[in-house]
Amino acid sequence: MSRFLLVCLLSVLLISCQSASTRKWELPPGVKVAVVNDYDMAYVEQGQGIPIVMIHGSLNDYRAFGAQMGPLGAKYRALAVSLRHYYPERWDGKSAGFSERQHAADVAAFIKSLNAGPAYVIGHSRGGIIASLVAKTYPESVRALVLADPALNRMLGATDPGAARRQSQINKALEILDTGDVEGGLQFFIDGAAGPGAWKARAELERQMSRDNAWTLRGDQPNTQEPFDCRDAGEIAVPVLLVNGEQSPAIFRKILDVLAPCLKRSERVVIPNASHPMNRMNAAAFNKAVMDFFARH
């Protein structure tokens, strides 16, 4: 082997080792990573064609879109990501880098890394905030946008009681988590958001997903948020599908009532027999609504 080839081989091995050493968490089977902004973003994918990038909400990760991977992947390239500091990373809630701005930049970089042009983007709950910021700040990244119960409480104004109540619930849940009672902290938060008994009524897979992401609640604080009002929404040029669950908490319908008139091009649909996690509670109806929308755009 020539000296030149030996040097090249050693350089590749060194880079590979350095890249591997930066990630301190294991990847579950079938999960891939894309290095975006010096972070190993975990994702799963299925299918080929125009990419659909799905962005999860609080206490969730790529697993939240398990019911979408097959149906959407039959026609498109379906990709569900885990945002920075969410599972499979085991975050302690202390290190930096958890912010809406960072998450939006990471998603935009992820889409660019696909080398497939703009993507269809789906954002659920807090993921709806990130998706909105991507569409506004990185317009070249997005072909069309789906916002499912987006948690854009700030659209309702600082004095809205719903926004203040949610922050109070997060703070109290964190106090409980700090005592080491992860189950109790999550039960307090979920029951406060979705009603008494909601935590215990959830499937074990959903409860485990929340446990795996419990400390991301610490990152979901006002100082991690970006301003977003009607003027910002008006800068989104692509078509937007606004989705509510029929049984979703009233605040999400209220958010869409305020958001819809601000958007240049929007449609609206309600998923029957479903609450906030409508993409899992009535996956067939959700998938059909999304696919019909993408087929038109």
Cβ–Cβ under 8 Å, residues 280 and 64 = yes
Q: Which two tokens stand for residue 199?
A: 């935590």
Cβ–Cβ under 8 Å, residues 59 and 213 = yes
Q: For residue 252, what pLDDT is reported? A: 94
In a domain, 84, yes or no: yes
The number of distinct structural domains making up the chain is 1
Q: Which two tokens stand for residue 185?
A: 């902290």
Q: For residue 5, what pLDDT is reported? A: 42
Closest to 150 measured CA to CA, from 173, 169, 174, 134: 134
- The CATH number linked to 126 is 3.40.50.1820
In a domain, 177, yes or no: no
Q: For residue 20, what pLDDT is reported? A: 43
Q: Residues 241-258: what's their mean pLDDT?
A: 95
* pLDDT band with cut points at 50, 70 and 90 for residue 286: very high
In a domain, 87, yes or no: yes
Task: Among 15-29, 165-179, 186-200, 237-251, name the one with the lowest average pLDDT.
Answer: 15-29
Q: For residue 159, what pLDDT is reported? A: 67
Whether 101 has a pLDDT exceeding 70, the answer reads yes
Q: For residue 88, what pLDDT is reported? A: 97
Q: For residue 158, what pLDDT is reported? A: 67
The CA-based dihedral angle spanning residues 223, 228, 232, 236, taken in that order and rounded to the nearest 10 degrees? 100
Q: What are phi and psi of 95, to 5 degrees?
A: -75, 165
Decide: pTM greater than 0.85. yes
| Helical H segments across 114-259, by residue range | 126-137, 161-178, 182-194, 198-201, 204-212, 216-219, 230-234, 250-259
In a domain, 14, yes or no: no
In a domain, 237, yes or no: yes
Residue span of the structural domain in which 86 resides? 21-160+224-296
Q: Residues 167-190: what's their mean pLDDT?
A: 93
Whether 271 has a pLDDT exceeding 50, the answer reads yes
Q: For residue 270, what pLDDT is reported? A: 98
Whether 21 has a pLDDT exceeding 50, the answer reads no
* pLDDT band with cut points at 50, 70 and 90 for residue 89: very high
In a domain, 195, yes or no: no
What average pLDDT does the chain have?
91
* pLDDT band with cut points at 50, 70 and 90 for residue 194: confident
In a domain, 201, yes or no: no
Q: For residue 193, what pLDDT is reported? A: 82
Q: For residue 230, what pLDDT is reported? A: 96
What is the amino acid identity at position 154?
R
* pLDDT band with cut points at 50, 70 and 90 for residue 281: very high
Q: Residues 187-199: what's their mean pLDDT?
A: 90
Whether 15 has a pLDDT exceeding 60, the answer reads no
Q: Convert the pLDDT of each residue in 213-223 to its tens digit.
A: 999 998 888 88
What is the amino acid identity at position 275?
S
Whether 190 has a pLDDT exceeding 80, the answer reads yes
Whether 155 has a pLDDT exceeding 60, the answer reads yes
Beta bridge pairs of residue 51: 77
In a domain, 5, yes or no: no
Q: For residue 93, what pLDDT is reported? A: 86
